[in-house]
Amino acid sequence: MTDTQKARVLVAYGGHGVVQAEGGEPVPCLFRRSVGRPSCGDLVRIRPADDATWALEEILPARNHFKRADARGRAQAVAANLDRVVVVIATEPLPSRDLLDRYLVAVHSLGLEPVIVLNKVELTPDPGGAGLQTLERLDAYRGLGYPVVRSSCKGPPGVGELEPLVQGVTSILVGQSGVGKSSLVRALVPDLDIQVGALSRVTGKGTHTTTTTRMYELPGGGHLIDSPGVWEYGLWKLEPDELAAGFPDFAPWLGHCRFNDCRHMHEPGCAIKTAVERGELPAWRLERYQRLLAQNEDAS
């Protein structure tokens, strides 16, 4: 493979996309079905197809993939080789009841580091909004060890708390439509227009779009991936033990239930339920787990 080059996928459109070798310019690349379909962030080997286009030769092993459920409830890769997943929620629109927990379970199940961002802090949330409870519990999430930062693209605090958490690493921004992810990308990537222009010249798809997962270089080193907003983030099919592992505060009691296959629902001798009864674990955490387990089983 002497005429191949190692490159990183900046954006993928099914059968083709844009890749970039280290120190090089973005170039178009054809994804051959026999090789596979890489995700944004995948490292690949490419070879020249003609004077202007490259062809995918190999998809290199990835450290990890961030996933979501497809229409059939199967795990679908969204981005690869990540260090952090930045879950963006906002005062408007308020998050749905279980959205944040679904994201956190997914992040933990994939062995990634989560960061929670509350954006649009300049706005006052709807006092009657169904998602207000999630915002009210952000201090509780911080107490569980999750980094929780505040941001605003309209004024203080800006992105000052978020910026050092994404520098020098590869992160993906995920969240509902309308929470301001694209504005955060613009604030974190000062030369966004230049990078978007370079991609647009290759793809011919025009200006920045929120419908495709794209990777950008950060000025202080590292990469930031912007993913399309979703109305609701769905988990793929997870076994009860995999779902419980997505609640790291359960760890001291996992493996101590009377039954090895305890689902932490109605089984006798459940160590998680006993911990709640003793006040060692907040009841709302078990309730969130049980809601997600019921949803996961209903979807299967």
Of 118, 115, 114, 68, which is closest to residue 93 (Cα–Cα)? 118
Does position 10 have pLDDT exceeding 70, yes or no? Answer: yes
Same domain, 174 and 269: no
Does position 210 have pLDDT exceeding 70, yes or no? Answer: no
Q: What angle do CA 99, 101, 102 make, to 5 degrees?
A: 65
- Is 234 within the bounds of a domain? no
- Where does a domain end: 24, 39, 59? 59
Q: pLDDT-derived band of residue 209, with 50, 70 and 90 as boundaries?
A: low
Same domain, 264 and 172: no
- Is 155 within the bounds of a domain? yes
Same domain, 38 and 173: no
pLDDT score at 131: 84
Same domain, 206 and 95: yes
- Is 233 within the bounds of a domain? no
218, 221, 227, 233 alpha-carbon torsion, rounded to 10°: -130
Same domain, 187 and 126: yes
- Where does a domain end: 226, 256, 271? 226
Same domain, 78 and 215: yes
Each residue of 196-214: b (16+ CB within 10 Å) or e? bebbbebbebeebbeebbb
pTM for the whole structure? 0.92
pLDDT, tens digit, 9 for 90 and up, residues 131-157:
899 999 999 999 999 999 999 999 999
The more confident residue out of 248 and 300 is 248
Same domain, 218 and 245: no
Number of domains composing the chain:
3
Can you give the CATH number for the domain in which 131 is found? 3.40.50.300
Q: pLDDT-derived band of residue 126, with 50, 70 and 90 as boundaries?
A: confident
Mean pLDDT, rounded, for 210-229: 90
pLDDT score at 123: 94
Q: pLDDT-derived band of residue 207, with 50, 70 and 90 as boundaries?
A: low
Each residue of 267-299: b (16+ CB within 10 Å) or e? eeebbbbebbeeeebbeebbebbbebbeebeee
Does position 246 have pLDDT exceeding 90, yes or no? Answer: yes
Does position 206 have pLDDT exceeding 80, yes or no? Answer: no
Same domain, 210 and 176: yes
Can you give the CATH number for the domain in which 38 is found? 2.40.50.140
Identify the domain containing residue 108 by its residue range: 65-226
Least confident of 64-68, 97-101, 128-132, 137-141: 128-132
Same domain, 133 and 211: yes
Using a 10 angstrom Cβ sphere, with 0-12 exposed, 13-18 middle and 19 or more buried, the burial of residue 34 is exposed
Does position 186 have pLDDT exceeding 90, yes or no? Answer: yes
Does position 299 have pLDDT exceeding 80, yes or no? Answer: no
- Is 202 within the bounds of a domain? yes
> What is the dihedral sign for C-alpha 255, 259, 263, 267?
negative
pLDDT, tens digit, 9 for 90 and up, residues 259-286:
999 999 999 999 999 999 999 999 999 9
